[in-house]
Structure 1
Amino acid sequence: MKTLLMSSLLSLALPAMAAGLEVRAPWAKATLPGQPVSGAYLELRADSAARLVKVDSPLAETVEIHEMKMDGGMMKMRALPALELPAGQTVTLKPGGLHIMLMQLKGPLKAGSKLPLTLHVEQDGKTRSVAVEADIRAMAAH
């Protein structure tokens, strides 16, 4: 029983791993009732060149990979068709930069609960799905 408990606790502390892809520190912003959008953030590291081509969540009608950047003195946001994941480099999705945009939410995202995400990654000639659970944090927490 002790061994099972310790291995369960240890698995919670480790980053999510899929063959050739590491997902670290996934989290999303909590929302207010009626708020239709939120963002999700994480770190991705692929051991060979890969591309994040799509993200799904059962809690949102539409999920897109987005980029925010300054353009002519104005902050602009746009959807990306895919996100390149260079081999051996960590790609960080964070507020004010690359992120996952959750639109047409099916209900509020409550702090302390989990947001299920499915990442669709092209790597080594194959597309596979990676299930991730992001912690939902209060809006002021980053």
Structure 2
Amino acid sequence: MTTLKQLLSRFLSAIVFTSLAIYISSAQAQDIVQIDDAWAGESHAGQAVGAAYMRFLSKQDIVLMQIESDVAKTVEIHNMSMENNIMKMRMLESLPIKAAKITKLAPGGLHLMLFDLKNPLLQGDAIQLTLTFSTKNGTSFKQAIKVPVKRIHSEHDDHSHHHH
């Protein structure tokens, strides 16, 4: 018969081992790909969609396969491009990231779309994104990042209209 002390000991060992495995895979991920300049645009009440941007620099060819978020039901990779003077946006199934070449997600180009926001994205908040990558040999790894929410500035955002 197993004692409570033995059960507790096994349980704690399992937690430590699992935590260590998660930490190691996260550390390995950071050795492969560096993610910086991450930010998400502020959204407004009632707005169900948001966007996030960042830069990737990888030591090897990898592919961004999936993104999960604590604030959105789904996250998709999108690309905006001009075709015949018309701005078009299309979803990408995945995003190849070449070794030693910066891949930039920025407004007007590649970006992450956050759908069915649970709450508005407010300046000063930070959202959690978990990115799943795959390598050439088929192994996958996850990397979790905190993404600060910033106000997007543009001429159209200026609410100080001048009336004559």
Normalised to the residue count of structure 2, the TM-score between the two structures is 0.73
SS in 2 for 1:108: coil
> Which amino acid in the other structure matches residue 83 of structure 1?
L
Residue in structure 2 matched with residue 106 of structure 1 by the alignment: 118
* Match among 128, 137, 141 for residue 150 of structure 2: 137
Which has the higher mean CA deviation after the structures are superposed, 65-74 or 118-127?
Answer: 118-127
Tell whether the 8 Å contact from 1:26 to 1:42 is kept in structure 2 after alignment.
yes
Deviation at 1:72, TM superposition (A): 1.7
Q: Distance in 2 between matches of 1:115 and 1:96?
A: 21
| Number of the residue aligned with 1:44 | 56
Partner of 2:159: none
Aligned residues: 125
> Which residue of 74, 81, 89 corresponds with 1:77?
89
For the pair shown, which has the larger CA radius of gyration, 1 or 2? Answer: 2
The equivalent of 1:14 in structure 2 is none
Residue matched to 2:36: 24
Q: Secondary structure at the match of 1:19?
A: helix
Identity in percent: 33
Structure 2 partner of 1:128: 141
Q: Alignment partner of 1:100: what SS?
A: strand
After TM superposition, the runs of 4+ consecutive aligned structure 1 residues lying more than 6 A away are none
1:87 aligns with 2:99: yes
Q: In the alignment, residue 41 of structure 1 is paired with which amino acid?
A: Y
Instruction: Provide structure 1 residue ranges, at least 5 long, that are not aligned to the other structure.
Output: 1-16
CA RMSD, aligned part only?
A: 1.2
1: CA distance between counterparts of 2:31 and 2:143? 10
Q: RCO higher in 1 or 2 (8 Å CA, sep ≥ 6)?
A: 1
Q: Report which of the two has the higher share of helix.
A: 2
**What amino acid maps onto 2:119 in structure 1?**
G
TM-score, normalised via structure 1 length: 0.84
* Structure 2 residue runs without a partner (length 5+): 1-28, 155-164
User: Of Structure 1 and Structure 2, which has the larger fraction of its residues in strand?
Assistant: 1
Which AA in structure 2 matches 1:136? Answer: V
